[in-house]
Structure 1
Amino acid sequence: MLKTHYDIVIIGGGIGGLMCAWRLAEKCPDASVAIFEKGEDINNRRCPIVSGQAKSCMRCKSCAIMEGLAGAGAFSDGKYIISHEYGGWLPEFLPGQTVVDYIEQADRILVSCGATTERFQPDDALKKLCLAHDLHMQQAVVKHLGTDANLETMRRMVDQLRGKCAIFTHAEVTDVQADSRTLVVRLPDGEHTCTAENIVFAVGRAGSGFFSAWCARNHVELHNNQVDVGVRVELPAIVWEDFSKKIYEPKIWYRSKNYGDVTRMFCFNERGQVVTENTGGILTVNGHAYRDPAKKTENSNFALLATMRFTSPFREPIAYAKHVASLANLISGGSVLVQRLGDLEQGRRTDEKRLHDSTTRPTLRAVAGDLSLCMPKRQLDDIIETLHALDVIAPGTANHDTLLYGVECKYYSARPETEDFELKGYSHIYAIGDGAGFTRSLAQASANGLYLADKLARGRI
């Protein structure tokens, strides 16, 4: 039952919002806390493709992969990076050791909810091999929760929060009236309002558009972050197992000789699956990897994306990335494309026969096509050059039958002006996580949520 007033309202039920609520329940158990999540309850999040009910995206009204309680992270492959060196920009606002301390605190919470304790350690020998060929591998202690185990961990976390705070799903916040801290919430039975002493925007990637629009209406200055556009690479798992068995995720960047652009290899999924994501009606690709041996495949996949930072007067990097992805949807007839690397280099389309003849069998039912018809030449040149550079340290990466799915985008939300995560000019209104451009990983989003909760608890709400 919706109350008329709360001590704190958290907009968004992703990992950052859940961690914030968890810490508030620990430190301020008498405080009234509500989470408003516009998507499904975690127990009702079922993607028709993942469940085997459909072979291609059905464009559900609410994408079960991207939206719902526990956020997009619930259906990620669950990589947890225990480092401040990558995974977001929190070290620009907090000391690096503080970030790591909060990441470790969040990990202990996840372990208490059933997450694995296994950790992959850095490997200097592999880093040296990369450096010998002008490839630069970032290193950190990494945990792989697994898409399946990660979902169960999130479910246990949510179950433990029920009763400690009010959780509303199918609850879309359509506006926040900043001066009175009044929230307008659309629930299944109609529109409601409530007030809050403190409001936390924890909207995640799926809610970044709403948050940016709210900031623009309320004259909160925003700063654009980078945008990454590229492909999801799929190949036989054996090609990269020398890396994946030791460090799990090879996270490597390369500066192209042709343009001087940085291309990043990351989001590695050993023996995983390529999946479709629906963000605001635009289909892109991503990767999953399960801990259950029965769900593993013969392939591994990873993102290979070219990083772009736009300068004045252009201020819409997210719109740019979505436009590129929408072109792939248009060309594929409402789906995503897949092309063999050899066909791309030979300037020809991959058709169904060529895809059928591929020695790398696709794990996602995508439309065979030509990525050069939708992706800018510069980004494709960067990707092809990088694949051949990676082929030196992992022979087989640039094989003719390596599959490229497109388009994959990682766009990072515009960051608002804040003072210790409080929106500048608006007391008691805060922003955290991926949707506000502070983080881009489970670990740092979790840390951001815990840090803000401690700040609120010190002020006694």
Structure 2
Amino acid sequence: MYDVTIIGAGVAGIFAAHALMEAAPGLRVLVADKGKPPRERSCPLERGGSCQCDGCEAYIGFGGLGRSEGKYNFTTDFGGELEALLGERLAMERMDEVDRILCLYGAGEAVPYRTHSSSLAARAEAGGLKLLGSTVRHLGTRLSRQVLDGFYEALSAWADFSFQTEVVSLDRESGGFSLLLSDGRTLSSKKVFLATGRSGAGWLEQMLPTLGLEAEQTRLDLGIRLEMAGGQLDSILQETFETKLRYDGDGFSATTYCMNPSGRIIRKHQEGLVMADGQNFKEQGSKSSNLNFTLFVPRLFPTLQDADACARQVLGKVNRGGDRLAVQRLDDLRSGRSTSLEGIRSNRIRPSIEADPGNLAEELPELYVRAAMEFLAALERLLGERLDGDTLLYALDGKFYAPRLAVDCRFQTEAEGLYAIGDCSGSTHSLSQAAASGIHAARSALGLS
């Protein structure tokens, strides 16, 4: 019998395992994941191939999504509900632990930076915006993979790992849980940590009825990605490399996401859909003359199926069965006219990605266009100047979430001994908060403060 079985080797799962290793090295722990070890993970898109994997290599396997750019935002202003569950002080202490562990494996090479400025916060508030602050340690892909390699070397010398393994069934039994694995093994575990992330949302929904649990609401973020002249935001980026702003409108809120000064826009493949994502200049090897970010508008749906149906409807309309994205000039959107191919060719702000020119008001639900226009009006008040009419708006970016599960302040579900950590809990949405939830659940399971 295992003392703890962790299902999922993303950041929540591996930080939970690391916390168990440090606090109770005598435990018998299994980590099972449907993906591969770190050095065997390989996304075909990175090699110029097509997106045809049975399980997305960008999301499953050791390190999960942390294998990509490795951007850790240490804050409770955004990224999940850790503060609501633990309180501000303990939430930040757990994220400090995340940073300490990262630095054990070489993350200190990436110098942290802050995105908060008191003077900017006051100016933003006067313009109708809220500045969200964070301390950021941005590893980048190369360093992130190096850190995960060291992480795996340490953990695999202590815990049992079972890769390319799915949990077929998970049932409660006297003294713990019984698990049937896809390789035919049946095993028992005193405690189980669910750490399957967003990519395991469908699997988790199938497991819940036998555990006596029910999923709650599911969040979905969709939003327009903007690309503007690199110097457009200089007056608010003088003190910080990037910024995160929230606008609260009538019946919605809109928040900037993944701001990339000198970056470019790339295609992101997820859930069979194609989205406009951003890439930091450090990842592309050279700087562009543009800045880009997404303006996400979150919505809540009764079920995972409802959220997925909305995403397929909205993004699918843009994609048209392929990898199509749409783009429009800001002046054209303001004037209610479509952007032409000639308009893109003569645009002073050069697009960093190929997209079909058109009219976003005809491509998207009114909510996302209205949110963008109201946010941009507030941004102009903050800047004290009008935004360049050649600014480009792309349809569409998206961020998917797992259904929320009821957990207590230990991340334990209503089933004793069963913990839901990281994004599969529906309570964390960032690498840092997911990792912190794993550490906190591990220490709680051991009865430690």
2:230 alignment partner in structure 1: 237
Contact conserved, 2:116 with 2:131, CA < 8 A, in 1?
no
Letter in 2 for 1:411: F
Match of 2:273 in 1: 282
User: In the alignment, is the contact (CA less than 8 A) between 1:142 and 1:248 conserved in 2?
Assistant: no
- How do 1:44-443 and structure 2 match up within 5 A? 44-51=40-47, 53-54=48-49, 58-76=51-69, 78-115=70-107, 116-120=110-114, 122-179=116-173, 181-186=177-182, 190-216=183-209, 218-244=211-237, 246-256=239-249, 259-289=250-280, 291=282, 294-309=285-300, 316-330=306-320, 333-350=322-339, 352-394=341-383, 398-419=387-408, 420-424=410-414, 426-443=415-432
Task: Determine the C-alpha separation between the residues in 1 that align with 2:358 and 2:231.
Answer: 26
Cα deviation for residue 71 of structure 1 reads 1.1
Say which of 31, 34, 39 aligns to 2:35: 39
Give the letter aligned to residue 422 of structure 1. Q
Aligned residue type for 1:415: R
- The 8 Å contact of residues 34 and 165 in structure 2, kept in 1 or not, is answered as yes
Cα deviation, 1:426-455, whole Å, max 9, x if unaligned, reads 222110111211111111111101111112
Q: CA deviation at 1:221?
A: 2.9
Aligned AA (2:7):
I
8 Å contact 1:10–1:202 — kept in the other structure? Answer: yes
Q: Which runs of structure 1 show a deviation greater than 6 angstroms over 4 or more consecutive aligned residues?
A: 312-315
Amino acid at match of 2:62: L
Distance 1:361 1:30, change over 3 A: farther
Which residue identity does 2:162 align to in structure 1?
Answer: F
Q: TM-score, normalised by structure 1?
A: 0.86
Could you list the per-position Cα deviations for residues 376-407 of structure 1 after superposition, in whole angstroms to 9, with x for gaps in the alignment?
11221111221232134347884333232332
Relative to structure 1, is the Cα distance of residues 12 and 315 closer, same or farther in structure 2, using a 3 angstrom cutoff? closer
Identity value in percent = 27
> Cα distance, 1:100 vs. partner?
0.5
Whether the 8 Å contact between 1:287 and 1:301 is mirrored in structure 2 is yes
- 1:22 paired to 2:13: no
Q: Is the 8 A contact 1:63 1:277 kept in 2?
A: no
Contact 1:230 1:305 in 2 (8 A): yes
Would you say the 8 A contact 1:224–1:317 is kept in 2? no
C-alpha distance 369-64 of structure 1, shift in aligned 2 (>3 A): farther
- Cα distance between partner residues in 2 of 1:60 and 1:110: 29
Distance 1:360 1:183, change over 3 A: farther
- Give the Å deviation of 1:64: 3.0
**Is this contact kept in 2: 1:225–1:414, CA < 8 A?**
yes
Cα deviation digits, residues 45-66 of structure 1 (max 9, x gap): 3334444x25xx5343333333
Please report the RMSD computed on the Cα atoms of aligned residues, expressed in angstroms: 2.9
The answer on whether the counterparts of 2:411 and 2:437 sit within 8 Å (CA) in structure 1 is no
Distance in structure 2 (CA, Å) of the matches to 1:397 and 1:212: 47
1:66–1:279 Cα contact (<8 Å) kept:
no
Check conservation: 2:303, 2:403, Cα contact below 8 A. Answer: no
**1:147-178 CA-partner distances (Å, limit 9, x unpaired):** 44333323332233222222333223343223
Gapped regions of structure 2 (runs ≥ 5): none
Tell me, yes or no, if the aligned pair for 2:36 and 2:163 is still in contact at 8 Å. Answer: yes
How far 1:244 moved relative to its partner? 4.0
Which of 177-186 and 122-131 deviates more?
177-186
Is this contact kept in 2: 1:122–1:247, CA < 8 A?
A: yes
Partner of 1:6: 2
Distance 1:14 1:264, change over 3 A: same
Q: Which moved more, 1:126-135 or 1:233-242?
A: 233-242
Work out whether residues 111 and 117 of structure 1, in 8 Å CA contact, stay in contact via their aligned partners in 2: no
Question: How many residues are aligned here?
Answer: 443
Alpha-carbon separation, structure 1, partners of 2:117 and 2:259? 16
Distance in 2 separating the partners of 1:314 and 1:177: 22
